[in-house]
A and B are shown apart, each in its own frame.
Chain A
């Protein structure tokens, strides 16, 4: 019976379900938002225009702000509560996506599901490698944090 983080993390879906019935006697249980529905390509209300605007904003963040790329650093930024917005590519493995969303829920930080895969997200960041998830620490001149976080 080998425990890997994956199997433990499988349970926190159960945590959320379990917690709904458990009386919260022991103080602060942060309100658990509904588990996010990822924006699908098919039913996406996002037009090409808004998709480009995300790219523009992201480019501005890359130029003028602070960010980290990659799963490990995203979790680090969430633990130290430095991250202000998390962006996840659409082909991120679902367990990893759930884990990042859970951390972000604990942190009360917005998560944006990027309308593209990790290759596209890497290109949007101006990098020549794939980026599955990234965390914006300081937006710089960009208004990405004010205009994006409604999306979950």
Chain B
């Protein structure tokens, strides 16, 4: 009886091009909107996970391996698998629904989330989120 599809919840996308990718809920629309009359949410996820960094990598190589490629998407609740993990990264100002209207706004939103997620990855927290799901 506790709502769990809330912002900052880590989820796994199940369908579509990004199936199998981990994402974080930025904004949830439980009642749906006129265009999407079903429960859905705005997620920001990882398109390309950062590679494994080893100790003997040079600084340049580490920087290259720690890159994260992101996506922003509106997804139906049915196509998500919620997890028990949360990721509190502040993405509300970077990602919004109107960022999905035009391509350049979308690119800007993805760049902003990429920055935030990369710095979160480098701190070493939320390691589960940045590991690829094996299936």
Contact = CB atoms under 8 A, between A and B. Distances in A.
Contact of A8 (B8, B77, B128, B133): B133
A109 to B, nearest CB: 6
Nearest to A81: B3
A106 B81 contact: no
B88 interface: yes
Given A22-B127, A26-B87, A80-B30, A8 B1 contact: no
Interface in A68-106: 75, 79-81, 83-84, 103, 105-106
Interface string B83-95: 1111110000000
9 contacts: A9-B81, A10-B135, A19-B85, A22-B128, A25-B125, A26-B126, A81-B2, A83-B1, A106-B84
A9 B12 CA distance: 10
B81 A107 contact: no
The SS class assigned to the B binding surface is loop
Interface residues of B, number: 29
A48 interface: no
Contacts of A11: 133-135
Nearest to B38: A76
Contacts of B83: 12, 15
A27 interface: yes
A19 B14 contact: no
A8 B134 CA distance: 8
From B8, B14, B134, B135, name the one whose CB has the most chain A CB atoms within 10 angstroms: B135
